[in-house]
């Protein structure tokens, strides 16, 4: 697969020619985004070579645009008008625009923008004949289009920093990694995912970093690199509120409630409204359980709690007075909501409740574990996991299952 990569300049040229041949009147940002979207659609259609080329083109287009923007900003900072500008964009723009248009005409332009800095910059960019002002406004507009004026904070330094960050296209880099992973090129996939994480500051949606970490974990799992796999899962949880060191007391209280009062009481007392932990916490819990480590219990409990808390929130959209009572009662409620029941299945609710029950039994928390497994057996939709729970209940005390299903 490595041989299929195009040189960066060639990728950019191809993408540009494609847009021109199509007669497309699109901005540079639109071109990069369109190439990214083309790649995503090709990937979904399993046309992986096409997806790879499209994402390479998107990366080249993005880099070209924001390398130019960075150079324009650097040039503006060397202008006499930037002297004593106190890091203020509005001040350097006012000086350049007044120099070209005069105070009166610039005042008219500013008034016509009605307080919108973007409209003001667009108007100045269209009207100016000064390369200095044209290049600077072009750079500002490029950054603002992807990050918004609030991120720029009227700061030249912030504008400069964002222009450098935006030369990367981590979403496209991640896409390339996904192609490598599917085609079994695990070493290349790992390199791409690590590169994506290095460029995470440029992600349009910062929370997408979590998905990249989980993808890297999948690579290490496929390679059997178990230490790295565990490290990845812990990294995925490092930004979580419930897994932070400041919440040690809360986690301890939850585990105590689980031990003494059972899972149903724990959930009623301590709902976990943090759905982003579900995938990493459940995977970490399963990994720890399979390796005979007692830390599995709290990870599995938090994952199951987070799934149920999100499902209950969805049910309360129709019945705000709804309260959680027992697992069996909850299973009856979602049996009438196929979409919600499917989501719980997809997230592995019943599987991870079974694992939690096994973890409790392994830790000699017999009463809590048996109570949970009994609730799982009685629950609708628990399916194979309900049957596994029944088998666990029938085992002699102290005997662990040879293979977890």
3-state secondary structure 229-244: HHHHHHHHCCCCCCCC
Q: Parse the chain into domains and list their residue ranges.
A: 1-167, 245-394
Give the pLDDT score at 336. 86
For residues 380 and 332, is the Cβ–Cβ distance under 8 A?
yes
Residue 88: strand pairing partners: 155
Q: Is 148 left (phi over 0), alpha (psi -120 to 50) or beta?
A: left
Query: Using an 8 Å Cβ cutoff, are 66 and 73 in contact?
Result: no
Residue 7's pLDDT is 44
CA-nearest of 234, 233, 174, 227 to 204 is 174
pLDDT at position 19 is 44
Paired strand residues for 155: 88
pLDDT of residue 399: 76
* Token digits of residue 302: 């938090």
Q: Scanning the structure block, which residue is given the tokens 């332009």?
A: 109
Cβ atoms within 10 Å of 48's Cβ, excluding its own: 19
Q: What is d(CA 47, CA 39) in angstroms, rounded to the nearest whole number?
A: 9
Exposed/middle/buried for 211, CB within 10 Å: 0-12, 13-18, 19+? middle
Overall size of the chain counted in residues = 405
Q: Which residues of the chain have pLDDT under 70?
A: 1-29, 401-405
Token output for 345: 């299945």
Task: Report residue 157 as tokens.
Answer: 């330094």
CB contact at 8 A, 316 and 272: no
Distance CA 358, CA 351 (A): 11
What is the distance between the alpha carbons of residues 314 and 25, in angstroms, rounded to a whole number? 43
Strand runs labelled E in 80-128: none
| Helix ranges restricted to H, 200-277 | 208-223, 226-236, 248-261, 263-269
Give me the half-sphere count of Cα atoms (radius 13 Å) on the Cβ side of residue 208: 18
Give the model's pLDDT for residue 247: 72
For residue 324, which phi and psi values (nearest 5 degrees)? -75, 135
């Amino acid at each position: 697969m490595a041989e299929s990569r195009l040189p960066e300049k060639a990728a950019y040229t191809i993408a540009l020619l494609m847009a021109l041949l199509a007669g497309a009147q699109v901005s540079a940002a639109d071109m990069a985004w369109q190439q990214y979207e083309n790649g995503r659609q090709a990937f979904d259609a399993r046309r992986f070579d096409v997806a790879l080329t499209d994402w390479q083109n998107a990366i080249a287009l993005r880099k070209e645009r924001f390398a130019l923007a960075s150079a324009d900003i650097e040039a503006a900072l060397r202008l006499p008008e930037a002297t004593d500008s106190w890091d203020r964009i509005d001040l350097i723009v006012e000086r350049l625009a007044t120099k070209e248009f005069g105070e009166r005409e610039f005042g008219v332009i500013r008034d016509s923008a009605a307080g919108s800095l973007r409209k003001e910059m667009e108007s100045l960019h269209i009207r100016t004949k000064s390369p200095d002002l044209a290049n600077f406004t072009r750079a500002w507009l490029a950054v603002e289009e992807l990050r918004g004026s609030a991120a720029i904070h009227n700061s030249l330094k912030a504008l400069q920093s964002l222009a450098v960050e935006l030369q990367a296209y981590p979403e496209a880099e991640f896409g390339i990694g996904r192609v490598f992973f599917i085609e079994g090129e695990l070493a290349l996939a790992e390199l791409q995912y690590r590169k994506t994480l290095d460029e995470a500051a440029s992600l349009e949606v910062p929370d997408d970093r979590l998905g990249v970490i989980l993808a890297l974990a999948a690579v290490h799992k496929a390679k059997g690199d178990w230490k790295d796999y565990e490290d990845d899962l812990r990294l995925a949880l490092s930004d979580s509120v419930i897994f932070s060191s400041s919440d040690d007391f809360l986690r301890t209280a939850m585990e105590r409630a689980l031990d003494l009062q059972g899972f149903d009481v724990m959930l009623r007392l301590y709902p976990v409204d943090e759905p982003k932990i579900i995938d990493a916490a459940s995977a970490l819990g399963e990994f720890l359980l399979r390796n005979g480590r007692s830390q599995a219990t709290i990870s599995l409990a938090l994952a199951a709690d987070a799934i149920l808390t999100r499902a209950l929130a969805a049910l309360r959209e129709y019945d705000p007075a709804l309260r959680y009572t027992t697992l069996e009662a909850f299973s009856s409620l979602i049996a009438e909501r196929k979409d919600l029941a499917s989501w719980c299945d997809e997230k592995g609710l019943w599987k991870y409740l079974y694992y939690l029950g096994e973890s409790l039994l392994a830790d000699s928390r017999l009463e809590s574990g048996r109570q949970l497994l009994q609730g799982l057996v009685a629950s609708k939709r628990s399916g194979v996991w309900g049957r596994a729970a029944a088998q666990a209940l029938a085992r002699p005390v102290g005997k662990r299952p040879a293979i977890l299903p």
